[in-house]
Structure formats: C-alpha cells, structure tokens
Amino acid sequence: MALGSRSLQCAQNHVRGRSERGGGRPFVASTVAPRGRRSSVQCSAILGQLFKGASGAAAGAGVAAAAQPELEPEFQAWLRGQGIITQPLVLRQCGREGRGLVADRPLGRGEALLQLPDSLLLTPQRAAEESCLAPLLRQLSPAGASTSAAGAAALPLPEWSLLALYLAELRGRAAAGDRGSRWAAYVDMLPQRPGTVLDWPAKETRQLLRGSPLLRLADSIAAAAAASWEELAPLIARGRAEGLVPAHVSLSKADLDWAFGVLLSRCIRLPGRDQLQVLAPWADLLNHDVNAETGAAAAGAAGSGATGSGASGSGGCHLDWEPTARGGAGALVLRTDRAYAAGQQVYVSYGPKSSGELLLSYGFCPPPAANPHQDYKLLVGVNDSAAADPLAALKAEVLAKHGLPPSLEFPLKLEGLPAGLLNYLAFVEAAPQVPQELHDLGSLLFEEGVFPLLDGADTLAAALKSLGNRCTAALKAYPTTMEVDQALAAGAAAAVVNRSPRGPRGRASPTAATATGAAAAAAAAAAATATAGGDGLVTLGTEDVSVSVLREAAVAGIRVRERQILQRTQASAIAQLAEVKRAARSRRR
C-alpha cells in the first residue's frame, strides 16, 4: 500500500474546503409556503423537495418550455431594464427543485448563455458602499480591515458579514414597502425561508444529527453565523444610535439569520475573480445536478463554497467570471457543458457534496444511495483517541513538517478507503519507545508511503485495527438502530404521501404507511413524538410539524447510508488486518 504525501495532500485539501465552509457562507431557496395548514399535495411537494435527487435533476429531464405565464415578472423586467438578455434560458417552475432555468431552444456545447456585468453582481464591496452603515464601515480602522478575496480594496469586515448586513437591510426595506433600492426586485424574489440548517430549531438539530459527522458541519455553520452576528450587532447598535439606520429598517437578528441562510444557499464564489463571493441575480436560479462532475460550476456556496470552476463532465454547466467577455469589460458567464434540447433544464454543480451537506446548506436531500458524493467524514486527530497522549505535541509538530494538520476529516465511501487515511492513522496511533522516532516514521509514512515496523510492531496492522475500532465506535454513536432508521426514512415519507387529501387535518396511520412489525412500531413511536396529537397517529396539521417529520426522514436516510459505509469500511479493515497478520506469519515461517 504505497500512499505518499500526494495522496495525503488530497485529503488535506478536502478538509481545507470544509473548514472554509465553516468560515461561513451562504444559501437555500425554499418552496416551503408560509405557516398554516397544508394539503397532502403541499406536503408531498415539500417531501419531494427534501428528497429530490435522481429523477428530476437527471440531465436530460425535460421541463415543458411551452408558453407559460412569466415567473417573477417584476424581477425579469428589472433584469431587462439593466440590459440583461435572459434568452435562451427561461425561468420555470421545475417541480421539486423550485424555480430553475430551462433552455427555450436547442443549445450547443460551450455556448455562452448568460453574461452578467459586474454592476449586476452584489459584491461585498458594493454591499459596504451601499449599506446605510457605510459611514461607519468607512471609519473602521485599517487594522481591523480584511482584504477582499479579489485582492481589490480593503474590506472593513469579512465578505460574508458585509453581504449579510446589506441583505438584511434590503429585506427590512422591502418589508416596509421601501422600494428605493435598486436591488428591490431581486430581494423580492428571494425565498422567505431559505431552508438551511440555520432554519432548524437548535434542539432539533442536535437530536437529529446525534452520532453523525454532520453535527460538526451544522455546528460550524451555526458558529459562523453566530460569529458574524457578534461582529455586526455592535455596529448596528452604533449605527442606530447615530441615526444612520432608517426607522423602518429593523436590522434585527431575525433579518440577519435570514440573510445568512440566503447566502449559505445562493452565494457564488468566483475562481475567475480570486474567489470573490457574490450574489448573482438570475445565475442563482440554477439548480444543482448531483451527477455533475466534481469541480463543476457551482451556484451555492456553503462551505467549499459555490464555485464557478470548470465543468468537464455531464450535467454541469460552467459558471465563472470571464475577464474577456463583453468586449474586455468582463462578465459572469454561463457556458453549457454539452448540448441541450429545448425544454431541458440547465444545471450547475454546487460541488461534490454529500446528501447531508446539501440538506444542511441548501435544504434539499438527494437520496443518499443515488449520490456519488455520499460519504462518512471520519475525523482523525492526534488528540482524539487518547485523552492524554504524551506524544501529542511532538506528533503535531511532525505532521506540520509534512504539511499536515493535527486533525483531518477523511471521507469514507462505500467504494474504498480514502487516500492517505491509513498512513495518517498509523502515525496518530504510534507510541514509539523513543519519541524522536516519530520523525523517521513521519518521513516513511508521508513521503515514501512505507509502513515500517515500530518497536517490532507492524504500523499498518495498528492503523487497520484503529480503523476497525473507530468504525465500531461510530456505529455505536447513533441513537437509533439501522432498522428504525430504515423505517423512519420510508415511513415518514409514506405517511405524508398517504395522508388523506380530504380535510385540513386528515390523518394517516403510520402503521399503514410503513413497514410491518418492529420497524413499523418504531416509526409509529417516532412519528408520534413529532406530532401534537400524542395519539400515535401522524397529524400533519402545520408546516412546522410536517417539515420536522420530513427532516427526520431525510436524516434517517442519511444515517442508513452512513452506517452502510461504516460497516463496509469496518469489514474491509478487519479483512485487511487478517491478511496483514497472515502475511507476517508466513514471513516468520
């Protein structure tokens, strides 16, 4: 097994992406309707949105482009007023995905479909300049300033905070009927509830994600939003005290929370402009294709950030800033990755994200079994196994020497072990009698890809044993069993679909809606806890209840897949360990 520093570098890049996401970012469009009773058809629509995946998003799925009333007419008129030609794409309702952009004539590969000039990008710089707090933002000391990712002017606050602050202000103005901003028509078409994890009740988040590595992601998203609020709250208070904030603009925490959700699910990062993060009206109506090639253009940002990097595979157009477009003035350009027939929806990729990552950052959950990016992110670090590893500091030092952090997330998949995992584990688990041997061990593992004997013990065997143990512990950490999760995933979905369409508070028996026996009983019990009725029946009387039940079902489906990945990894570690031991025995003979 020769895994060298290159493969470890790949793993490191992966983690770096995640921590960037944790740094905060944007977005989710939700078709969730306002509070109130909803019909089974509406519930099914929400269900469809959460579980969206293989069917509608498959490249090639057609959306009738025949004459239909124009969607978001005011927004589209505003775009036209700005000189934007939206053809040959038309805005359509695309079923479970909400609004989306559809070809209205056959498109060739590599065609430029959309060219947004800089003036139509809501950039952090622009947000700072147009904010009602601009005088304060200008005064912020250069010491506290950060340089924009685009390397342009120094920004007084992080990009995400500036965009959120201005979005929240725009929302307040819109709510008060103030149409003075030039972004008013854009803000009007943004979803009221982006549907990201920031919309989930905190207690529910912890309960739902217990045992899953997704809890770390949820925590990092919440922490980024909280940090941003901490940063903005005193500024807003000062602006209010100085009379800078118009009386009708609340700039409340709720407004900011909404803005964080919008950014998490809609912000776009532009590699062609040094990773500048922007909101791009119209371009942010592109939906995600789970089958698009890794690294394809992305609308959406969360974490690894919506990127507009090159799309080479199917099902993902390329979206990025092209400096030579518009006669050298530059523009955000969408290019087709292949030919499209009239009526086909055009997709981008939001990045190689697991269904859980999509659920938390964008509010929809493709079936995990159909998502090629589904994984279980195993966290491995020098301090995570033994509370007091006397060699921890030295290990961190050696890891740093090899360009590696003291802890790393490795994406376990059904298909096999991530590159570099065993090398990293072998190092983390090592306990040499002579500590300085860690230096040589690091060089062998990370530079040469060799697993040496350490004090007579096989370091590869130690890594495999550790991996098996970690999978066992991870499997035990889930609060539910596989059987219950399978029933929950199937049962809540069926409960919604089977709900009687008659009567605003129709009920469906979870027993009828789910599997039989113990699994059905478990689903019934779980469903009962999610309803106000307490009579063991699923009552989908309000949006919150139904969304909560559906979320539970989506997360249960994710847990099922995570468990399958852990079980297969565990079995593989055990089999490889047996092989290593057999080989050692035969060498001794």
Ligand X SMILES: C[S@@+](CC[C@H](N)C(=O)[O-])C[C@H]1O[C@@H](n2cnc3c(N)ncnc32)[C@H](O)[C@@H]1O
Whichever of 113 and 299 has its CB closer to ligand X, that residue is 299
Amino acid identity, residue 369? A
Applying CB under 6 A, the span of 35-43, 98-106, 209-217, 405-413 interacting with ligand X comes to 98-106
DSSP H or E stretch at residue 141: none
Nearest approach in angstroms of CB 231 to ligand X is 25
Give the list of residues 6+ apart from residue 424 with CB closer than 8 angstroms, or none: 8, 11, 380, 404, 408, 410, 445
CA–CA dist 142, 145 (Å, integer)? 5
- Contact between 28 and ligand X per CB under 6 A: yes
Residue selected from 148, 265, 514, 546 as contacting ligand X according to rule CB under 6 A: 265
Task: Give 327-380 as a DSSP string.
Answer: GGT-EEEEE-SS-B-TTBBPEE---S--HHHHHHHHS----GGG-TT--EEEEE
CB of 31 to ligand X, least distance (A): 7
How many residues form the binding site for ligand X (CB under 6 A)? 24
213 near ligand X (CB under 6 A) = no
Among 258, 282, 364, 410, binds ligand X (CB under 6 A): 364
Asked if 402 touches ligand X (CB under 6 A), the answer is no
Q: Is residue 45 a contact residue for ligand X (CB under 6 A)?
A: no
Check binding of 266 to ligand X (CB under 6 A). yes
State which of residues 43, 45, 285, 553 lies at the interface with ligand X (CB under 6 A). Answer: 285
| Smallest gap from residue 189 Cβ to ligand X (A) | 7
∠ CA(142), CA(144), CA(145), 5° rounding?
60
Q: Which stretch binds ligand X (CB under 6 A): 96-104, 391-399, 472-480, 527-535?
A: 96-104
Please, which residue, 266 or 499, has the CB nearer to ligand X? 266
The whole-angstrom separation of Cα 535 and Cα 527 is: 10
Residue type present at position 460:
L
CB of 443 to ligand X, least distance (A): 45
Q: How far is the CB of 394 from ligand X (least distance, A)?
A: 45
Q: Classify residue 490 by burial, with Cβ atoms within 10 Å: 0-12, 13-18, 19+.
A: buried
List of residues 6+ apart from 57 with CB closer than 8 A:
97, 287, 288, 289, 290, 291, 315, 347, 366
Q: Please, which residue, 102 or 165, has the CB nearer to ligand X?
A: 102
Using rule CB under 6 A, residue 373 touches ligand X: no
96 binds ligand X (CB under 6 A): yes
Report phi then psi at 453, rounded to 5: -80, 140
CB of 288 to ligand X, least distance (A): 4
**Complex with ligand X: residue 319 or 549, whichever CB lies closer:** 319
Give whichever of 282 and 446 is closer to ligand X, judged by the CB atom: 282
Contacts of 400 (CB under 8 A, 6+ apart): 406
Interacting residues with ligand X (CB under 6 A) = 28-30, 49, 52, 57, 96-100, 191, 195, 265-266, 284-285, 287-288, 299-300, 362-364
